[in-house]
Every structure is written in C-alpha cells, then in structure tokens.
Structure 1
Amino acid sequence: MIAIMNMTLSKIDAAYIAGVIDGEGTITLVRKHRGENRQLSVSISSTERPLLEYILETLAAGKITTKRTYSAAHSPGYTYAIYNRQAFHLLQHVSPFLRTYKRLRADLILAHYLALTPRNGRYSASIMERRKAFEEAVLNTRARS
C-alpha cells in the first residue's frame, strides 16, 4: 500500500487508475478565474458513474460533478476531478504506470510544480518567469499524430 497524503493506494489500484487516466483522463494546468495562476488538475470523464465513484472511494479525495445533457438521446456524463497538491500526490503514484503522452506531462509536473508553486502564493519575478515557461512546456506536451 502507498500513502497519498492520508490515503492509501495499492500498486494494483495505482496501475488501474493510471490506465483510466491514460484512456479517459486529462492531466493539465487550469485557470479557475481570469488573472489567476494555473493550478494542477487531474480529471476523468465518463458516462459510467460507478467507475468514478470507485476512484473517489479509493483515493478519498477529489469530487464528481455531473455534466449537463443537451439531448434526451445523450447519456448523462460525469467528471471526477482532483486538484493542486492532492493531484500532485496522485501523480507521484500513477506516473510509473502511464503509457501515453500524459506520462511526459506528469514527469514535467513532478519535476517542477512544487518548486514553482509557493504555498503562500507570492511569486518573485524570477519564479514567475520560470513558471510561465513551465506552464507552456506542460500545455504544449501533446499526443503525436
């Protein structure tokens, strides 16, 4: 068992969750409000709510939201999301099992995110410059066609 903050995660669960992230998930830096710095986000979208509930129960962190359906013919969709340091701790455990370009994103984040994200939110000019370059590097890491 692996401890994630106050969570425990077996290697089997870590590998399974990594597979779900590889297939249906997103590892990115999001901006919640205009003008704010981007924050780490790991999210998984699915029409299978029990899958997302399993992940939520296993990690004991994050949240599930319901997506709006615009047509009666569409299945309801759900998104599991985890942010900031909790997402960082999750990536520490699932990144060895990632197999897509998301592994490259996770490795970049694991190498630089904490050093470029002061807990007090005060960024020096030097850190801000390095953080912008880091954000660009993460966001430009995409699947090859």
Structure 2
Amino acid sequence: MLKSWEAAYVAGIIDGEGTISFKNIDSKGKRNPVIAITSSDLKMLVFIQSLLSGSLSSKKMMISGQPTYIYTIEIKQKETIREALSQIQQFLRADHKKEEVERVLENFSSDSNRNILRPKQPASNMFLMEKAY
C-alpha cells in the first residue's frame, strides 16, 4: 500500500513519462496490463521500483553525439498494478491517463475468475543500483 504522497508522486511520473497499456498475451488469449516508465533519471526509477517492484532495463543511445543511457521500468504483476492504479487514480491530471487507468481497472473488475499471486520481490541488479548512486 502506497502512502498518500507516494501515490501522488507516482501519479505525477505516470502523467508525465509513463504509459499504461495492455500487452503480453497470456495462454488464455487475454492481454495483461503493464505500467512502463522511461526516463534518463535512474534514481527516480529505482525509487519507483522500491515502491512497486518491476524490472529495470537500460538502453544506450547517442544524443547529440554523446552516449546516453535511457532506463525503463516495467511493472507487470497484476495485483501490484491493480493496487497502484486504484491508489494513484485520484492524483492523475491528464485526461487520457485517467481513461487508461479506468480501462485497466474495468478489465480487473470484469475478470472475476483471475488467479493472482503475490508480487515477487525485485531481483537486485547491482549494476543499475551502482549507477543510480
């Protein structure tokens, strides 16, 4: 469960840099929700990972002739997504993000026979952690 200020912070990041979508079709043909945030600010993504779990990845890009790392966190655990979206919904400002959240939460309420496991703790990725601090 997120604290109020944490939910507001995550909502602001999702409003600005995040996406909420459906992908990863499961064995039953259903698409699963995913929250993804892409940024060059690794410390912010590591903080969000500490709140919501998720997996971090990096990609090296050339911007203005300089190598730059862009990082992405993807949150895929259904229960984590449902709880997080329920808590941040009130803090979202962008109308299209509010609509995305409503669509995902409606999908959860219509899926009465889902079997959700507790989210796993994120694997420690020391390389990313060292770069963040």
Q: Shift of the alpha carbon at 1:119?
A: 2.2
Structure 1-normalised TM-score? 0.67
State the secondary structure of the residue aligned to 2:111: coil
Query: Could you say which structure has the higher strand fraction?
Result: 2
Separation of aligned partners in 2, 1:117 and 1:38? 15
Match of 1:103 in 2: 98
Which ranges in structure 1 are unaligned for 5 or more consecutive residues? 4-8, 121-145
- The alignment covers a number of residue pairs equal to 111
TM-score (norm 2): 0.72
Moved over 6 A (4+): none
Gaps of 5+ in 2: 116-133
Structure 2 residue aligned with 1:88: 82
Matched, 1:63 2:55: yes
Residue 10 of structure 2 is aligned to residue 14 of structure 1: no
Q: Which has the higher contact order (CA 8 A, sep 6+)?
A: 2
Measure the CA separation in 1 of the matches of 2:82 and 2:17.
Answer: 18
Identity of aligned residues (%): 29
Name the counterpart of 2:19: 26
